[in-house]
Amino acid sequence: MTAAPPDSLPLALTMGEPAGVGGDITLKAWAARREAALPPFVVLDDPARLAALAVSLGLAVPVQTVSSPQEGAALFVRALPVLPVALGNPVAAGRPDPANGAAVIASIDRAVALVQGGQAAAVVTNPIQKSSLYAAGFRHPGHTEYLAHLAGLTDEPIMMLAAADLRVVPVTIHVSVRDAVNQLTTEAIIHAGRVTAASLTRDFGIERPRLAVAGLNPHAGEGGAMGREEIDIIEPAIAVLRADGIDVSGPRPPDTMFHAAARRGYDAALCMYHDQALIPVKTVDFDGGVNITLGLPFVRTSPDHGTALDIAGTGKANATSLIAALKTADHMTRNRQRTSAS
């Protein structure tokens, strides 16, 4: 079967944790499709649960089962298209059930398969509840690592968070602060810098990306007085990246590199651990942040928030981050198409 032209392909949106806000924000995003100028997307979920959720939330969202992404793209202007994924048990909002873990994983697997098979343009993932998935046999730290596994990557995955005028990349991700310090290496920083620079060109259309590298210690170590990681680990990585021809600066004191004027001086910041990256991006744009996996053979984005079990099914969930994730996935896909065609 011949794949459809890339411009006609919808995005593949996963179920996420069914007891969380994924369904709520999916319905709200579709309802805002015109005013937000959203690209078409097809949801991999249980259509009956989404239809019932729409009624309970008072949202006039017609839900329709489809048999293919192409059918979903044609239907998108009139109804929310859903490729069915069977749940193990009925869903109770705010109460994750490990019996539904297989469906959550199957939704991710199928979304990736659709993109790899040329039937969908990109993967957009709703938030998962990792504790529930672990009980169902999930063995990966998070979405990012699992998608890298599905893509067959041997290198560590790279996570970017993007919001407003700030993009950040944590070099170490889902580990404790103690382990992050122990795991930080020159090689890991080099890998993150190379993948980030390449993605900024391929996926964001930035011809000559500028990277800013954060220090690990207060005042970027202050010449070794507050730690030698900058001297022994970070500066050698910066030297290699510069030798590659990448425009890179640092190590910068982390407390002075995220204000508005500083952000104008770079296109992405490499941060040394999870919260060093996520605190500024969530402060700059808490509702509109997007999680992006770099270095995959396909585009993947996600809302930059969790399952919000406490407000699931109440109508309080904000769809801004999912809307931003859908638009970012479309933007990145089109940039990849232009780059590959040039």
Q: Consult the annotation and say whether 331 binds a ligand.
A: no
Buried b (16+ CB within 10 A) or exposed e, 186-225: bebbbbbbbbbbebbbbbbebeebebbbbbbbeebbeeee
What topology is assigned to 1-154+298-341 in CATH? Isopropylmalate Dehydrogenase (3.40.718)
For residue 188 the two structure tokens come to 């890991």
What does the pLDDT read at residue 319?
A: 97
Q: Comparing 1-154+298-341 with 165-284, is the CATH topology the same?
A: yes
Cα–Cα–Cα angle for 207, 208, 209, rounded to 5 degrees: 110
What does the pLDDT read at residue 1?
A: 33
Q: How many angstroms from the chain centroid is the CA of residue 100?
A: 22
What does the pLDDT read at residue 57?
A: 97
> Beta strands of 79-230 (E only): which ranges?
80-84, 123-124, 158-163, 166-170, 210-214
What does the pLDDT read at residue 2?
A: 37
The answer to whether the predicted template modeling score (pTM) of the entire model surpasses 0.85 is: yes
Q: Consult the annotation and say whether 316 binds a ligand.
A: no
Q: Consult the annotation and say whether 291 binds a ligand.
A: yes
Q: Consult the annotation and say whether 130 binds a ligand.
A: no
Phi-psi region of 42 (alpha: psi -120 to 50; beta: other; left: phi over 0): beta
How far from 230 is each of 126, 215, 218, 336, CA to CA, in Å?
Answer: 36, 6, 10, 34
What topology is assigned to 165-284 in CATH? Isopropylmalate Dehydrogenase (3.40.718)
Q: Consult the annotation and say whether 274 binds a ligand.
A: yes
The ranges assigned to domains in the chain are 1-154+298-341, 165-284
Q: Are strands 300-303 and 290-294 parallel, antiparallel or unpaired?
A: antiparallel
What does the pLDDT read at residue 203?
A: 96
For residue 5 the two structure tokens come to 């032209």
Rounded Cα gap, residues 204 and 333, in angstroms? 9
Q: Consult the annotation and say whether 219 binds a ligand.
A: yes
**pLDDT tens, position by position, for the chain (342 residues)?**
334 444 579 999 999 999 999 999 999 999 999 999 999 999 999 999 999 999 999 999 999 999 999 999 999 999 999 999 999 999 999 999 999 999 999 999 999 999 999 999 999 999 999 888 988 888 888 888 899 999 998 887 899 999 989 999 999 988 899 999 999 999 999 999 999 999 999 999 999 999 999 999 999 999 999 999 999 999 999 999 999 999 999 999 999 999 999 999 999 999 999 999 999 999 999 889 999 999 999 999 999 999 999 999 999 999 999 999 999 999 999 999 887 776
